[in-house]
A and B are shown apart, each in its own frame.
Chain A
Amino acid sequence: MTLYCELSEISASSEQRREGFLHESGSRVDKYRSKAIYLRANVRAFLGQIHPLSGDVMFGLVPASIAAGLPSSSAALLALGAPSLAHLSLLDIAVIAIYFVMVIWIGFYLKSKANTSEEFFMAGREMTAWIAGLSFVSANLGSLELMGWAGSAYQYGILAAHWYWIGAIPAMLFLGMVMMPFYYVCKTHSVPGYLKLRYGQGSSTVAAVSFAFMTVLMSGVNMFAMAEVMKIVLGWDLNFSIIVSSLAVAAYVALGGLRSAIFNEVLQFVLIWGGALLVPILGLIETGGWTGFKARLAHNIATGATPGGDYTHMWRSMGHFADNPMGIHWTGIVFGLGFAISFGYWTTDFLVVQRVLAANSLRSARLAPVIGSFFKMAVPFIVILPGLLGLVVLQNSDGSLMHLVGENVVAAHPGAGLHSYNEVLPLMMVRYLGPGLLGLGITALIAGFMSGMAGNVSAFTAIFTYDIYQPHIVKHARDEHYVLVGRIVTIVGVVISIGAAYLVMNAAGIMDYVQALFSFFISPLLGVVLLGMFWKRATRAGGFYGLLMGTLTSIGLWAWVYFYPSALRYVALSPDAKGMAENMYRALWSVTTAVGVNVIVSLFTKPRSLSELAGVVYGATPLPTEEPVPLYKNEWFWTAIAIIIFLALNIYFW
């Protein structure tokens, strides 16, 4: 196979290094690296300091003119001569430019379809199951996630796939089949809106303010991280990436509202697959398929070329914390990741739930997460597999196996030509993709950033307008007023995100705290929503204090381990536990506290009457009966298929 970039040649002569290397196909690759790549968001995620699932990404960025053949002055203006992994050809630039034209075109086209608040904030509730389902998954499929988990797969093996399977699928199916009827029947506009109906304004406002604040802050943090990725991979200037990507997202979301965000998320979903799918396909061809890959990996381990470990099984090493490199026990994976974190994110984070609420019928709303679950199960093919393949196909200039290292090692050895785990996906793209295809791959990364950012901005806009502005600032205004507020808040949200990005740029340590903050609110919210949905006795005071104490528990445990690292053995139940295990068990204790406090306080306070709970609680909500449909359109049928595939994957890779 002819590779478009022989990474084995990444240490050429100094002259070549300066000039960049022109390969036979025309793809240019710089031969050196002098600066560490700081994918801080995901690095911290891997270290267990942030919500692993909130690595969904939120940026966009834009083409820079670093292409070979462009006037050097233009390139210098934008790229500032930063060294990079790859340079783009004119064809690649054209591919990226076309993407931006499409995105803005869609925004302008949909402007006339976002005149009422229902249209602007809820996309008119007209989405089909497929559109809502793809958007549901796409809002979570960010570039930092793609690159970060590919790097995690290189480092830890197929264990990383837990975050896509048990860390997502049960929760997505539960949302669709069990929780969605309540969200949908009560016609709420948001998750805090549901809390208002169930527990009253207090809990709703707490959830809305914390979510709105954290959403724009996280958007900024990830925007900065994305800009750094693009600087390292393509040499793009940080300011250029941040400003242009923000403007594009602000334009199409402010113009077309949620409908525009969803349209673009579906477009971006197709692009991500179209741009990234080729890498594992060509990688498998080169290694001789999965069997060939395992044979080469086994040979590398036997000869000491690759560190020993079980890279291809998911559960065998989960018997004890010390048996796997992540330092996790299966109870942490099943109950912490599979329940507390996963259910918290997929069923109560408004960023993703908003997409399903926009469905055109209850059946579509229930089918959307089910459809999304199939694609979620497939994502490891374009994320985890390239990371694994990198273990055997990436080579140094002398033909020896390339060893990727941690960020700290790269930072400690500037100029040594080292690459971090997080660079494995772009390295694989550069290795396999030629002109045009490389542009498509880069466009996939850009699309991932933009879909995540648009998701955050549209969710922030809806939460602020419906759950903060309307109940507390201007209660009774014309519908047009709220649409105008929504458009303005979209711009304001993007501006705050940009400010947060520059804040992080000048004080990078803040990033860790911001991401930890985000994780504090999700799990306790799950405890409160679940109890409110399925226990009629839960009261307003129970919900409020459950949410408060669950959040305080999460913050307290985090601070305990932060200031006294030895406390990890108590939080995660083992002295052999590592950071990621702490994240899982902290979420579990947080949910447990939220539920426990909610139950105790509710038993001592006066419950609401059954009539007040109609539409929001199981047992008090008559669910609408839907017309019978053929089996292939039935949501229960597809849920059963998804469960079978989920179980089969876990058994096959046991």
Chain B
Amino acid sequence: MHTSGISIWFFIGVMLTIYGAMILGYGLYELSLPQMAVANFHASIWWGAVLLAAGVFYGVRFRPGHAE
């Protein structure tokens, strides 16, 4: 939807980038906590990374002024 200027996908990209960075950052911080050394699936890390990657993709792909 580009007729209105900024695409909705850009907004989504920005939001996912912020969320991804926050959650990934916390996941990495969690690794430094001794009690978190036990085995788990580190969902914050990989889910945060997924959100961050998707956010960066959409943010760049649909950035204002960039033709789709």
Contact = CB atoms under 8 A, between A and B. Distances in A.
A173 B16 CA distance: 31
Interface in A99-132: 99, 102, 105-106, 109-110, 113, 124, 126-128, 131
A95 interface: yes
A274 interface: yes
A98 B19 contact: yes
B32 interface: no
Interface residues of A, number: 37
B53 interface: no
A473 to B, nearest CB: 31
B30 A98 contact: no
B12 A440 contact: no
B1 A131 contact: yes
A119 to B, nearest CB: 9
Contact of B1 (A95, A128, A436): A128
Given A1-B40, A432-B43, A266 B12 contact: yes
B15 A99 contact: yes
B41 A1 contact: yes
A24 B40 CA distance: 13
Interface in B1-55: 1, 3-6, 8, 11-12, 14-16, 18-19, 22-23, 26-27, 30, 33, 35-36, 38-41, 43-44, 47-48, 51
A434 B44 contact: yes
Nearest to A274: B51
Contacts of B6: 109
A437 B23 contact: yes
Interface string A1-13: 1100000000000
A267 B8 CA distance: 8
Q: Classify the secondary structure of B's interface with A.
A: helix
Contact of A436 (B12, B38, B44): B44
A530 interface: no
Contact of B38 (A2, A263, A274): A2
A126 B44 contact: no
Interface of B: 1, 3-6, 8, 11-12, 14-16, 18-19, 22-23, 26-27, 30, 33, 35-36, 38-41, 43-44, 47-48, 51
20 contacts: A1-B39, A2-B38, A24-B36, A25-B30, A25-B36, A98-B18, A98-B19, A102-B11, A102-B15, A106-B11, A109-B5, A109-B6, A126-B4, A128-B1, A267-B8, A274-B19, A282-B41, A285-B41, A432-B43, A433-B43
Interface of A: 1-2, 24-25, 91, 94-95, 98-99, 102, 105-106, 109-110, 113, 124, 126-128, 131, 259, 263, 266-267, 270-271, 274, 278, 282, 285, 432-437, 440
